[in-house]
Amino acid sequence: MMLRTEPFVVNIGPQHPSSHGLFRLRVTLDGEVVKDLELVLGYLHRGIEKLAEGRTYTQNITLTDRLDYLAQMTNNWAYVIAVEKLAGIKVPERAEYLRVIIGEMMRLSSHLCFIGFFLNELGAYFTPLFYMFRDREKIIDLFDMVCGQRLNYNYMRVGGVSHDIPEEFVPALKRLLDEMPRLIDEYEQLLSGNEILLARTKKVGILTKEKAINCSASGPVLRASGVKWDIRKVDPYSVYDRFDFEIPVGSVGDVYDRYWVRVQEMRQSVRILKQALEQLPKGETKAEVPFLLRPPVGDAYGRIEGPKGELGFYLVSDNSIAPYRWHVRPPALLNLTALRELAIGWKLADAIVIFGSLDTILGEVDR
Amino acid sequence: MTVALGVEAVARKVAETFPVTTITTDRDALIVPPESLLQVAQYLKDTPGFDFGYLTCLTAVDYTDYFEVVYHLTSLKHNHSLVLKTRCYDREKPTVPSVVSLWQGADLQEREAYDLMGIVFSGHPNLKRLFLWEGFPGYPLRRDYL
């Protein structure tokens, strides 16, 4: 006997444990198989781009903290790089090193969060997450030492960083770096070879190289698809050309590769941090920049390799104290472009895992 | 190091291929009129030597006299970049052809520009507001929106 079936629409979110914030997926299902998927965004839209047009260049650094709230200081960094490009400001060498140190710590912390939440989506509820948060806590403590904050750091300034690191920071970071490779080994031992993880992620949600490039994917998502493209290497900003590190690249472009690339990136971050601490010069940490900065008329696009991908700021100046236009190129939003095609044909539970593997953060998507 | 291509040289080459269009340059950007945008974009994407296969960033700016849509293009093959701009002077219904057929990465970015700046991207497969709800009055990122 033939059963009459019809497609069924399910709303996942906006309040859902796997939605990484307020976010709705409108999924059309045939049984358990995803037939269509639509993104419904905007639940966290705060109009940051409009807000920024009414605040000075320095005040806007605070707003960048609220974009990707798991990697705040890389947002600060991308923004100040764009302003420095716009106004032609040179940053002291020590400040550049401090930025690299902070940026790589931020990458570690962001990837730890990714692994924790991603495993949550696979059904390993909270045990891996607590391992990750145990170690992320150590990084956050160091940030607390640097700028007295644990969430919205607001540490970078146009022309440098807000103040120098305290004396006890370097030895504390060295201790953490000695410990970190062992911790990453521990995660890999627990997770990377885990049979359930492999069964759920291998060959699931394959993003081909061509598709990844065409969809403007960036960061670990692009590299997992086999594209060796890391802005730290191909367009070195700050002092990244002075460090010796590798770019991990995936081979298949499936969910597992996106996980694996991030774990390997953590190892490379530790490598960069060790070199940065060795080379850390003495000197000024902030260039002389007027408090009310008036960049010359023009536009500039500044970008960095953030933990989620290429984070860019497009700024237009009309020579007043506030930017004329302030646009963010959010890696998390652009990585979502491919989600629909990745998820179609997979079971609903796999679609959640594919979504999780893109490391979406809604503060940045909605802005 | 990503090399920003010299716009003058690119402008000459594009003008040779499309003699009818008016190509201008402004600082380090190539400016094409909206009606030939799609052709020029296709040319930049497919011509060997340019190979702009990656659309880095798409956004719109309101200069009150006109709207400017800005495309940051990158070639992952040659590691060079180019800024392409187009201007439209109609404030009521500014229309620019959609480049989703060339770069799928433009999909959500064009929807965002439509949502917040009110630029209509003709030929976009699903031009709906991205963040705000349908029926939201006005376009917040325009300079005359208070």
Write down all domains in chain B, each with its CATH number in brackets: 3-122 (3.30.460.80)
pTM of the predicted model as reported, rounded to 2 decimal places: 0.90
- How crowded is residue A167: how many other Cβ atoms within 10 Å of its Cβ? 8
* pLDDT, average across residues B100-104: 91
C-alpha neighbours within 13 Å on the C-beta side of residue A307? 33
* pLDDT, average across residues A104-120: 90
B residues 32-71 lying closer than 8 A (beta carbon) to A: 53-57, 59, 61-62, 70
Confidence of residue A2 (pLDDT cuts 50, 70, 90): confident
Q: Does the pLDDT of residue B116 top 70, yes or no?
A: yes
B contacts of A49 (beta carbons < 8 Å): 116, 141
Predicted pLDDT of residue A82 = 92
**A187 touches B: beta carbon within 8 Å:** no
Which residues neighbour A137 within 8 Å (Cβ) at sequence distance 6 or greater?
none
* pLDDT, average across residues A310-329: 91
Predicted pLDDT of residue A20 = 74
Predicted pLDDT of residue B90 = 87
Could you read off the pLDDT of A204-236 as tens digits, one per residue? Answer: 889 999 999 999 999 999 999 999 999 998 888
Predicted pLDDT of residue B138 = 87
Residue B72 per-residue DSSP state? E
CATH top class, domain A44-366: mainly alpha
The gap from C-alpha B44 to its chain's centroid, in whole angstroms, comes to 13
Could you read off the pLDDT of B11-46 as tens digits, one per residue? Answer: 778 777 877 677 777 778 888 888 888 888 988 888
* pLDDT, average across residues A112-125: 87
Q: Does the pLDDT of residue B50 top 70, yes or no?
A: yes
Question: CB–CB of B50/B30 below 8 Å?
Answer: no
Residues composing chain A: 367
- β-bridge partners, A329: A312
CB contact under 8 A, B103 and A214: yes
Helix A93-121 vs helix A348-357: angle between axes, to the nearest 10 degrees? 170
Q: Does the pLDDT of residue A296 top 70, yes or no?
A: yes
Q: Does the pLDDT of residue A4 top 80, yes or no?
A: yes
Residue A133: left if φ>0, alpha if ψ -120 to 50, beta else—which one?
Answer: alpha
- How crowded is residue A149: how many other Cβ atoms within 10 Å of its Cβ? 15
Confidence of residue A19 (pLDDT cuts 50, 70, 90): low
Residue in A36, A51, A214, A315 to test binding to B, most B beta-carbons within 10 Å: A214
Q: Does the pLDDT of residue A314 top 90, yes or no?
A: yes
Tokens of B112: 């965002």
Helix A93-121 vs helix A169-187: angle between axes, to the nearest 10 degrees? 30
Residue in A213, A222, A297, A336 to test binding to B, most B beta-carbons within 10 Å: A213
Predicted pLDDT of residue A14 = 82
Q: How far is CA A56 from CA A138, A158, A314, A324, B79, in A?
A: 34, 12, 16, 10, 34
**A151 touches B: beta carbon within 8 Å:** no
**A92 touches B: beta carbon within 8 Å:** no
Confidence of residue A126 (pLDDT cuts 50, 70, 90): confident
From the list B93, B88, B139, B146, the residue with the least C-alpha distance to B116 is B139
Average pLDDT, chain A: 89
C-alpha–C-alpha distance, residues A238 and A225, integer Å: 27
CB contact under 8 A, A301 and B72: yes
* pLDDT, average across residues A76-83: 92
